[in-house]
Amino acid sequence: MIKGTTKLLGVIGHPVEHSLSPAMHNAAISHLGVDFVYLPFPVKPGDLKAALAGFAAIGVRGFSITIPHKQAILPLLSEVSPIARAIGAVNTVYLTNKGWCGTNTDVEGFLAPLQTPPTPPYQGGAKDATSGLERGNTAVESCPPPYQGGARGGSDWSQKVAVILGNGGAARAVVAGCAQLGCAEIHVVGRSEQNLAEFQQSWVNCPMPVQNLQVHTWDNLSMLISQADLLVNTTPVGMYPQGEKSPVADAAIDRISAGAIVYDLIYTPNPTQFLKDAQLRGAQAIDGIEMLVQQGAAALKIWLDRESVPVDVMRLALQKHLGLS
């Protein structure tokens, strides 16, 4: 029940009507019984600065960011975490003693299914930040430190090869995640040699330099897939309504090793054709729902000052919303 004391969280974007975040966040909030609500806020690109001032004025406690604001908001923030600077995008914002602070939980969302058990995220920083909010302060300390995680099942990724399809914004979060896993080699596959060269160069002097990154055009994909321990699709190929498509041809996916992990950031359809093809060849599949849920859970921990939130509740709410359960 929304009351005069209810604290506001939300998501900004344009458009934002399609966002799945309210469904999973409000399910978690209801389960926890805390006096918060998570709302979608449509914000046009030209209104972003005014929206931040308005949020501060009415006491919004934090918000998620989706297209087209994830990069545009960077110069408007007082602080940006190293992980967000490395990725070049912010997806989670909350107030600090200096103003709005931005971070990015996409790396944690990406890594969560690859580690068992998960390492508690954001040691220290998030707790300090949101405890101030719970005391009723509008200012808190500082951005949380970058995610520190371990590899799946405690395995050693230092001898493993990651191959990433696409070189857009989502690929940046995946590269950062693979670097934190400690992958021996990180290969990014794209269409444009110029864009690939710029992508590689952008990691040289960033807050999280990636030394073992190589870039390739699509004609090298079959060779790379045969080496991959982790194959990740960050492209939109295969997304609804073109769910019959795959970014990888049959002849190339035939070369995947049995037991390799194949990960698609797309969450509808579920599973994608890419994942179906990989599973038929003995690969382990991870779909995009898990990353979506886990990045949202990481943000909610920051806002609510909790070591854990009901991830299962968030996942089920999302699956129901998508008609998958």
Q: Which residue has the tokens 């004391």?
A: 5
The answer to whether 60 touches 9, Cβ cutoff 8 Å, is yes
- 70 among known catalytic residues: yes
Q: How far apart are the first and last CA of the chain?
A: 26
Q: Give Cα 132 to chain centroid, integer Å.
A: 25
Check whether the bond before 236 is cis (ω within 30° of 0).
Answer: no
Joined tokens for residue 65 = 């960011």
Strand 230-233 and strand 213-217: the pairing is unpaired
- Give yes or no for a contact between 46 and 77, defined as CB atoms under 8 angstroms apart: no
What is the length of the chain? 325
Burial grade of 53 (CB within 10 A; 0-12, 13-18, 19 or more): exposed
Q: Residue 120 CA to chain centroid, in angstroms?
A: 16
Q: Pick the catalytic residue: 3, 44, 49, 70?
A: 70
Catalytic residues, by residue number, are 70
